[in-house]
A and B are shown apart, each in its own frame.
Chain A
Amino acid sequence: MISRPKTILKLSLFLLGLVISTSTQAYKSNLTSPINGQEPTDARIEEGSKLFASNCATCHAIDRKLIGPALSGVLAKYDDVDYVIDWIQNNAALISAGDPRAVEASKIDASAMNLFTNLSDDQVTSILMYIENGGDGDEPVAAEGGAAAPAEPVDESLFGKVNWGIVILSVLMFVILVLIVGIIELVSNITGRQIINWNNVNAFMMIVFVFIFFALVLYEYSVHKQFLLPEASSEHGIELDRMMKWTFMATIPVFFITQFLLFYFSFRYRHREGRKAYYYPHNNNLEYIWTTVPAVVLTILVLGGLKSWKNIVKSDPPANTTEIEVFAYQFGWQARYAGEDGKLGQADFNLISATNPLGVANLEYAKGLLVELEEEIKKIEERIAGLGKEEAKLRSTLGGLVGEERKKHLKEIESYASGEVRDDLELTIRARKTQIDRIKRSIEAAETADFYNGYGNDDQVVQEIHLVIGKPVTLRFRARDVIHSAYLPYFRAQMNVVPGLPTQFTFTPTKTTNEMRRLKSDPEWDYYLVCNKICGNAHFNMKLKVVVEQQSDYDKWLAEQGALFVKAEPEAPTEEATEATETEETETETENQTEEGLALN
Chain B
Amino acid sequence: MSTATAHADHHLKETFISKYVFSMDHKMISKQFLITGIIMGVIGMGMSIAFRLQLAWPDTSFPILEWLFGRWAPDGKLDPGFYMGLVTIHGTIMVFYVLTAGLSGTFANLLIPLQCGARDMASPFMNMLSYWFFFLSSVVLLSSVFVETGPASGGWTIYPPLSALPKAMAGSGAGMTLWLVAIILFIASSLLGGINYISTVLNMRTKGMTMTRLPLTIWALFLTAVLGLLSFPVLLGGGLLLMFDRGFGTSFYLSDIWLNGAGALEHTGGSPILFQHLFWFLGHPEVYIIIMPALGITSEVIAVNARKPIFGYTAMVISLLGIAFLSFIVWGHHMFITGMNPMLGTAFLITTLIIAVPSAVKTFNYLATLWRGNIRFTNGMMFAIGLVSMFISGGLTGIFLGNATLDIQLHDTYFVVAHFHIVMGSAAIFGMMAGIYHWYPKMFGRLMNKPLGYLHFWMTFISAYLVFFPMHFMGLAGVPRRYYSFTLLPEYGVWMDVNVLITSAAILGGIAQLIFLYNFFSSIWFGKKSSENPWQATTLEWTTPVEHIHGNWPGEIPTVHRWAYDYSKPGYEEDFIMQTTPDDGQEEQLFETETSPSAPDKKDVPEGETVMFWALIKKWFGSARA
Interchain CA distance A145-B397 in the complex, whole Å: 52
Interface residue? B364 (CB, 8 A): yes
CB–CB B377/A270 < 8 A: yes
Are the C-beta atoms of B473 and A227 separated by less than 8 Å?
yes
Query: Interface 1/0s, chain A 203-235, versus B by CB < 8 A?
Result: 101100100010011001100100111000000
Of A114, A313, A543, which is within 8 A of B488 by CB?
A543
Partner-contacting stretch, out of B109-117, B232-240, B310-318, B534-542: B310-318
Shortest Cβ gap from B59 to chain A (Å): 7
A64, CB-defined interface residue at 8 Å:
yes
Cα–Cα distance between A314 and B406 once the two chains are bound (Å): 16
Q: Is A281 an interface residue (CB 8 A)?
A: yes
A286 vs B313: C-alpha distance when bound (angstroms): 13
B487 interface residue per 8 A CB criterion: yes
Find out whether the CB atom of B349 lies under 8 angstroms from the CB atom of A305. yes
Contact mask for chain B residues 385-405; partner A; CB cutoff 8 A; 1 contact, 0 none: 100110011001101100111
A1, B510: Cα distance in complex, Å = 12
How far is A330 from B80 in the complex, measured between Cα atoms in Å?
14
Tell me if B469 and A217 are in contact (CB < 8 A): yes
Q: Which of B60, B371, B396, B508 meets A251, CB within 8 Å? A: B396
Rounded to whole angstroms, the CA-CA distance of A494 and B338 in the bound complex is: 9
Task: Report if A294-B162 is in contact (Cβ < 8 Å); known contacts: A269-B375, A278-B568, A498-B272.
Answer: no
Given the contacts A110-B149, A530-B480, A539-B84, A181 and B451 also touching, CB distance less than 8 Å: yes
C-beta contact mask, B358-375 vs A, less than 8 Å → 1, else 0? 001101111110111111
The answer for the CA separation of A262 and B170 in the assembled complex, in Å, is: 48
Q: How far is the CB of A508 from chain B (nearest CB, A)?
A: 15
Which of the segments A9-17, A80-88, A135-143, A557-565 contacts the partner chain?
A: A9-17
Binds A, one of B40-48, B201-209, B440-448, B495-503: B495-503
What 0/1 pattern do residues 568 to 602 of B give for CB contact below 8 A with A? 11100001000000000000001000000010000
Known: A277-B568, A480-B258. A12 touches B494 (CB 8 A): yes
The answer, yes or no, to whether B520 is at the interface (CB within 8 Å) is: no
Contact of A349 with B308 at beta-carbon distance under 8 Å, contacts A2-B504, A284-B625 already known: no
Once the chains bind, are A67 and B476 in contact (CB under 8 Å)? no
CB distance from A314 to the nearest CB of B (A): 8
The answer to the question of B477 belonging to the interface, with a C-beta cut-off of 8 Å to chain A, is yes
CB distance from A94 to the nearest CB of B (A): 12
**Which residues on the A side are within 8 Å of B368 (C-beta)?**
280, 283, 286
Tell whether B257 is near chain A: CB-to-CB under 8 Å: yes
Question: Are B393 and A480 within 8 A (Cβ)?
Answer: no
B226 adjacent to chain A (CB < 8 Å):
no
Total cross-chain contacts (CB, 8 A): 442
Which of A113, A224, A229, A534 is B162 in contact with, Cβ under 8 Å?
A534
Q: CA separation between A319 and B490, bound complex, in Å?
A: 36
Chain B residues whose CB sits within 8 angstroms of the CB of A19 once the complex forms: 487, 490, 493
Given contacts A8-B500, A428-B262, contact A532 B399 (CB under 8 A): no
Given contacts A477-B339, A499-B255, A533-B159, 11 further A-B contacts (CB under 8 A): A64-B74, A111-B261, A156-B61, A157-B61, A262-B370, A281-B598, A305-B353, A312-B408, A487-B480, A495-B337, A530-B488
The 5 closest A-B pairs by CB, nearest first: A112-B261, A489-B478, A503-B339, A500-B255, A110-B170
Seen from chain B, the residues whose Cβ lies within 8 Å of a Cβ on chain A are 57, 59-63, 74-77, 79-81, 84, 149, 153-155, 159, 161-162, 165-170, 172-173, 254-266, 268, 270-273, 306-315, 337-339, 342, 345-346, 349-350, 353-354, 356-357, 360-361, 363-368, 370-377, 382, 385, 388-389, 392-393, 396-397, 399-400, 403-406, 408-409, 411-413, 450-451, 454-455, 458, 461-462, 465, 469-470, 473, 476-478, 480, 482-485, 487-491, 493-498, 500-501, 504, 507-508, 565, 567-570, 575, 590, 598, 624-626
29 A-B pairs in the complex with CB atoms less than 8 angstroms apart: A2-B504, A3-B501, A19-B490, A66-B80, A110-B170, A112-B167, A112-B259, A113-B260, A198-B377, A243-B403, A266-B375, A271-B376, A279-B568, A281-B598, A284-B315, A290-B361, A291-B357, A294-B356, A298-B356, A302-B350, A305-B403, A306-B349, A310-B346, A349-B257, A428-B263, A435-B264, A524-B490, A532-B413, A537-B81
